[in-house]
Amino acid sequence: MPFGFYVIMAAQFFSALADNALLIVAIALLREMQAPSEYEPLLKTFFTVSYVVLAAFVGAFADSMPKWRVMFISNAIKIFGCALMYWDVHPLLAYAVVGLGAAAYSPAKYGILTEYLPHRLLVVANGWIEGLTVGAIILGVVIGGTLIKADIATVLLGFDLPLIDTGVDTTGEMALCFVAVFYLLAALFNLYVPDTGVDHRVLHRNPWYLLREFNHCLLLLWRDRLGQVSLAVTTLFWGAGATLQFIVIKWAEHALQLDLSKSSMLQGVVALGVALGAVGAAKMITLRKSVRVIPLGIAMGIIVLLMNLVHHVGLAVGLLILIGALSGFFVVPMNALLQHRGHILMGAGHSIAVQNFNENLSILAMTGLYFVMIRANLSIYWVVTLFGLFVSGTMYLVKRRHEANQRIRDDVAHLDDDGH
């Protein structure tokens, strides 16, 4: 891999680490405010709404200038959102601003891979990016959970700069300062992300033109036979993954009697599994073989049902790693296939924006449904059961659709594992 790829990885690592540490800190701030428990999944809703509302514009924005500049601006917006939370703006609103930065960041983060690397390296690159992102999620939730622990917070608040009053007096303020430092590190690496030399489109100022163009790209990707299958899988994965974050916390509190700082560590355990699966897929799966992983999605949904039988932390860790590994192994090849088809059909930034729109619409729908079930006092065990059955059933339908497409024409045979 060229050196610039490792700079891209470093920038992504610190940005993702900060996003996930901030989620745990925001949950802690909501609990400190004694906000209703159903507000917690709303954090994800407020975070992702920008991905959906601004989908037509962020792709065009990402394609209008060098990707490093887009990522730098996006991280600056995230730092501002973090500062708003520090200044006592409601965590839901402040996290929505961070989501605005993330929505602008994502098309550049993935789009630069298709500009910078030959498509034969896309599965490998996505495997490493996904694995590293998941490593950042693990470390992020661990750091977030550690910073809000009373004994750790007391020690850290005990430190002060000589002759300077920092004004950092609470656990939340201290944790937010650490998160801001991670965002600053990400922005620093953004400055050294290579310019790919790709010609950039002039950003149209007419919003109606951008909306029509986005709608055209959306329909184009859903009508493409390989595009629709890979888009369906990644859409389900991100919606399910976001919901599983909150399910794991709630399930750990009920089934394992763990508090927030410890149950958040189990989110990291799932992420560890995803990292292992992602790296495994990068080593074993080529672009042409990418669609063969679809049955693993069916298996993952069935295995989720076993959570209802587990009441021991050791067993929970093993089960969550397995669930994560299956997820990582099937989503990385699908992501690479989707990027490849999108890059060919419409360009990297527009393709990723379409992907983000669908994936985050799925997050809004699935976390919203989770919010309704929690609000209705549905048992977490019922929630787990419905979640597992939904994932398996949806992946089965995707498998049937792909088989029907292949009977019309063998598009997989035309995928090239060797070309540029």
Residue by residue, DSSP assigns 46-76 as HHHHHHHHTHHHHHHHHTTS-HHHHHHHHHH
The owner of tokens 């093993």 is: 318
Q: How many helices (H) and strands (E) does the chain have?
A: 15, 0
Weakest-pLDDT range from 3-17, 85-99, 116-130, 141-155: 116-130
* Count of residues making up the chain: 420
Two structure tokens written together for 270 = 């799932």
pLDDT tier at 186 (50, 70, 90 boundaries)? Answer: very high
Give all domains of the chain, ordered by start, each with its CATH number.
Answer: 3-194+206-414 (1.20.1250.20)
What phi and psi values does residue 332 have, to the nearest 5 degrees? -65, -50
CA 350 to chain centre: 18
In this model, does residue 124 exceed pLDDT 50?
yes
Asked if residues 285 and 362 have their Cβ atoms less than 8 Å apart, the reply is no
| Distance between CA atoms of residues 382 and 90, nearest Å | 31
Check residue 321 and give its pLDDT: 93
Return mean pLDDT, the chain. 84
In this model, does residue 158 exceed pLDDT 90?
no
In this model, does residue 161 exceed pLDDT 90?
no
* Continuous segment of H or E residues that includes residue 396: helix 380-408
pLDDT tens string 19-73: 989 998 999 899 888 888 778 888 888 988 888 888 778 777 777 788 888 899 9
What's the number of CA atoms in the CB half-sphere (13 Å) around residue 288?
Answer: 9
Q: How far from each other are the two terminal CA atoms of the chain, in whole angstroms?
A: 14
Check residue 189 and give its pLDDT: 94
Average pLDDT over residues 392-420: 78
Closest CA to 350 of 248, 203, 240: 203
Weakest-pLDDT range from 91-95, 269-273, 350-354, 372-376: 350-354
Two structure tokens written together for 106 = 């994502």
Q: Could you tell me the CA-to-CA distances from 284 to 127, 258, 326, 330, 333 in Å, in that order?
A: 10, 37, 14, 11, 10
In this model, does residue 314 exceed pLDDT 50?
yes
Check residue 349 and give its pLDDT: 64
pTM: 0.73
Weakest-pLDDT range from 107-121, 270-284, 320-334: 107-121
Asked if residues 51 and 141 have their Cβ atoms less than 8 Å apart, the reply is no
Between vectors from CA 137 to CA 116 and to CA 350, what angle results, nearest 5°?
35
Check residue 3 and give its pLDDT: 84
pLDDT tier at 420 (50, 70, 90 boundaries)? Answer: very low
Two structure tokens written together for 59 = 């792709």
In this model, does residue 207 exceed pLDDT 90?
no
